[in-house]
Structure 1
């Protein structure tokens, strides 16, 4: 089974505020007060300056978008994450912007590399954003619900008006 994700992640209130500035940005709620903006083709096309993200080694970070992320992070910290797996083998990449600067990363785990003891790149970014894992969760990735959809575009089909697990996590 495969898994693929390219997204901006942060506090839902922050992402709602900044998404209004970016054509093609769709905010999808997650657990624990977080949300994501999937890096869809439409968002990529509206955000790019024609290239890829200034040598940060992400596969779908639009050229110039790292400056947008830095600007958005003045409203609150946020991460850009990518994961790609097929048959249990794959990669993760993540970085965190805060107060207008790249604060952490980018961090990478490539094919056949184990996750560091402190967690996967995405879980590390989520932890810095304030995500906490519950006893039954293997990591922050699962705790916020990133395991709910198997590909980036599928997040657009999530019924954002009725998300029982999100509603429960806000209680």
Structure 2
């Protein structure tokens, strides 16, 4: 089975206000006061700046979008997360902006690399956003990122 996620995560109100001008943006609540903005093909195409490269090395983040995330973070922390797995093998990446600048990452774990003692990149980003995990779960599971297997399924 496969899993892929490419999304922006922030407080629900932060994303609601930030995405007002993006017609391709669709947000959904994921719990603990956070919402998720899937980086769908339509959103990537509408937000892409082909004259700029993605400065952080993420696979799906459109060029120049990190500037938008920095701007949004003036209202509170904003994370960009990527995860791709097939048959239990894959990779993750994450970064968090707050107050206009990157405050975590970019973090990346490539295929075959172990997670850091602090947890996966996505879990570390979620923790920075204030997610509280349960005794038997990480932050990823605590907000239900395991409920959907593909980015586009978050807007279905």
Distance 2:117 2:66 in 1: 28
Asked if the contact 1:52/1:60 (under 8 Å) is kept, the reply is no
Tell me how large the CA RMSD over aligned residues is.
Answer: 0.9
Partner residue, 1:53:
54
TM-score under structure 2 normalisation? 0.96
Distance 1:99 1:151 in 2: 30
Paired positions, count: 155
Partner residue, 1:156:
155
What is the CA distance between 1:85 and its match in structure 2? Answer: 0.3
Aligned partner of residue 24 in structure 1, secondary structure: coil
Asked if the contact 1:92/1:110 (under 8 Å) is kept, the reply is yes
Unaligned runs of 5+ in 2: none
- Give a deviation string over 1:69-95, Cα, whole Å, max 9, x none: 000111111100000000100000000
Partner residue, 1:113:
113
Residues 72-111 of structure 1 aligned to structure 2 (within 5 Å) = 72-111=72-111
Partner residue, 2:139:
140
Distance 2:75 2:26 in 1: 17
Asked if the contact 1:10/1:36 (under 8 Å) is kept, the reply is yes
Asked if the contact 1:52/1:61 (under 8 Å) is kept, the reply is no
Distance 2:110 2:129 in 1: 23
Distance 1:101 1:53 in 2: 15
Partner residue, 1:17:
17
Question: Structure 1 runs of 4+ off > 3 angstroms?
Answer: none
Is the alpha carbon distance of 1:30 and 1:147 closer, same or farther for their aligned partners in structure 2, counting shifts above 3 Å?
A: same
- Give a deviation string over 1:41-88, Cα, whole Å, max 9, x none: 11001111015412x111000001000000011111110000000010
What is the CA distance between 1:4 and its match in structure 2? Answer: 0.1
Distance 2:48 2:136 in 1: 39
Aligned partner of residue 66 in structure 1, secondary structure: helix
